[in-house]
Amino acid sequence: MGDGFREKVLRSSARRSLFKASFIASDLRFYIHWATGKFF
């Protein structure tokens, strides 16, 4: 278990969190779109 392994794990987890963040962002955008459509 050298430094390369740790770096690989960090990179994959970062990619996963980035994917999750973009997914949540699109979800939020859809919800805001729906809410503003309801209220205005």
**Which pLDDT belongs to residue 23?**
94
Output DSSP code: residue 1.
-
Tokens of 27: 């979800």
What is the model's pTM? 0.53
| CA 28 distance to own-chain centroid | 11
3-state helix/strand/coil string of the chain = CCHHHHHHHHHHHHHHHHHHHHHHHHHHHHHHHHHHHHHC
The answer on pLDDT for 38 being more than 90 is no
**Which pLDDT belongs to residue 2?**
73
Q: What is the distance between the alpha carbons of residues 29 and 23, in angstroms, rounded to a whole number?
A: 10
The answer on pLDDT for 39 being more than 90 is no
Q: What is the pLDDT of residues 6-34, one digit of tens each?
A: 999 999 999 999 999 999 999 999 999 99
